Amino acid sequence: MGFKTTAEIKLKSYIKKKPRKYKVGLSNEITINDYGKIKLNSNEQVSFIANSGLYDFCRKDWGFYSTPSINKRLKQNKFEVYLVKNIYDNIYIWTVEKNKKNLFFDYLSRENHEIVIRLDKIVSEKDLIKSLKISFENLKSGCRGVKKCINIKNNIKTIYTYTCKPKGEPDYKIKNYLRKIVQCKKCNHFYAVHKINTSSLYKKNYSHISHGKNLMTKFKKILSLKKNSDNFYRVNRILSFFKKLRNKKVSLLDVGSGLGIFLYSLKKKVNWKLSGIEPDFNFYNFSKNDLNLRIYNDYFYKKKFNEKFEIITLNKVIEHVKDPDKFLKKIRKVIKNIEFIYIEVPDGVAGEASKEHKNREEFYLDHLHIFSVKSLKNCIVKNKFNLLNIQSIQEKSGKYTIYAFAQLK
């Protein structure tokens, strides 16, 4: 529908009776209602009405005045203006109503966005240079990978102290059960601090302790859950993201394949060459002989691979290793021609915010690292992968999880 404003200005608008709705945000919890479009000719302007004042948007023959004057007009109308960076390092200019700053900061925290510079306070080139310098220094002092930020002075705070196993944790028969969970103040990554030899857990009957002695019973139980299973949505995520590869010849390696249910379910959907590597002999034996899957019984860092894998999946794996950074670096070194990587890890930030917090599975003994969205992103980017998608979700089982897709640079 079109309408005329004055004899000089011809403004065209396309307003929808029913807005187009779509989900955005880190957890896809924000619904955007798209009501249409407005076409402006050169030197035409529209104004948006806010509680604190007007926000003008003007078309020029060379482009747009995206904002009124940041340090004058917007300031007079009680707006603050920020240069903001999202989790994918995309940069935006956001205008904030002064009396709604609390909502803005809550949004930044929830969506893992960072303020680069506050722009409305800049009145000179000197101010701009100073602000950029401070921003750069903050970036340098920030965490650029997991494991190292725990060594930064005054950077760590203790979150939980355990003197016995939390309710629900498998009984690993640990004597002198004393451990702490600490958190980095900058990237919100959680570390387990203790002297318990967790690597010995995997040399015993880890699979029997965590899944019971009858692995087929456990397998059938998970499979029977169907759409109530975490694995159901994991498989669908993989197939949806790689839909263009669905009918092509693709080799996928699942590192830490465990019970094998992910590979088994994926095998039903695609004709890809699927492989897994699993150090636990019981898991390996079950996956190979009962499920007829292609599985290596070894630790990933010890195995030499001669074949090419386009996709590597790490489903709840890197939280168990001492140094996730080194582990991802090893993947790049050991596996040639890798193209994509999919990672799932426990979400410590969501776990801590929940009612059960201290007793949640995210903080169990076998987890040496519990991630935040920011710390997982740092870990991925540091190891020369392009972050393609990262989301924080609560799974059907109730687990808080962060998943990410990345591509080798």
Among candidate residues 334, 306, 323, 320, the one with its CA nearest the CA of residue 382 = 323
Q: With contact defined as beta carbons under 8 Å apart, do 219 and 261 qualify?
A: yes
* 341: its two tokens: 């990587």
**Distance from CA of residue 68 to its chain's centroid?**
35
Full strand arrangement of the beta sheet holding 179-184: 156-162, 179-184, 190-194, 369-370
User: Number of C-alpha atoms within 13 angstroms, CB side, residue 20?
Assistant: 7
Q: With contact defined as beta carbons under 8 Å apart, do 402 and 392 qualify?
A: yes
Q: How far apart are CA 240 and CA 263, in angstroms?
A: 16
**What are the b/e assignments for 2-33, b being 16+ CB within 10 Å?**
eeeeeeeeebeeeeeeeeeeeeeebbeeeeee
Give residue 131's identity as a one-letter amino acid code. Answer: S
* 356: its two tokens: 């059960």
Domain range 149-408, CATH architecture? 3-Layer(aba) Sandwich (3.40)
Q: How far apart are CA 219 and CA 323, in angstroms?
A: 30
Q: With contact defined as beta carbons under 8 Å apart, do 293 and 274 qualify?
A: yes
What confidence score (pLDDT) does residue 233 get? 96
Give residue 152's identity as a one-letter amino acid code. Answer: I
Q: How far apart are CA 344 and CA 111, in angstroms?
A: 18
Q: With contact defined as beta carbons under 8 Å apart, do 242 and 340 qualify?
A: yes
Distances (CA, A) of 387 to 158, 356, 383, 405: 30, 31, 11, 6
What confidence score (pLDDT) does residue 68 get? 87
Among candidate residues 220, 298, 301, 297, the one with its CA nearest the CA of residue 261 = 220
* 149: its two tokens: 């930020």
What are the beta bridge partners of residue 47?
Answer: 56
**Segments of the chain scoring below 50 in pLDDT:** 1-10
Residue range 87-110, pLDDT digits in tens: 888 999 999 998 899 999 989 988
What would you report as the CA-atom Rg of the chain, rounded to the nearest whole angstrom?
25
* 183: its two tokens: 């958190």
Sign of CA dihedral 206, 182, 321, 203: negative
Helix, strand, coil % over all residues of the chain, rounded to 5: 35, 30, 35
Give residue 324's identity as a one-letter amino acid code. Answer: P
DSSP 132: H
First to last CA, the chain: 46
What confidence score (pLDDT) does residue 36 get? 86
DSSP string, 277-328: E-S-HHHHHIIIIIS---EE-S-GGG----S--SEEEEES-GGGSS-HHHHH
The full 3-state SS of 65-131, as one line of letters, equals ECCCCCCCHHHHCCEEEEEEECCCCCEEEEEEEHHHHHHHHHHHHHHCCEEEEECCCCCCHHHHHHH
What confidence score (pLDDT) does residue 11 get? 53
Enumerate the domain spans of the chain. 65-139, 149-408
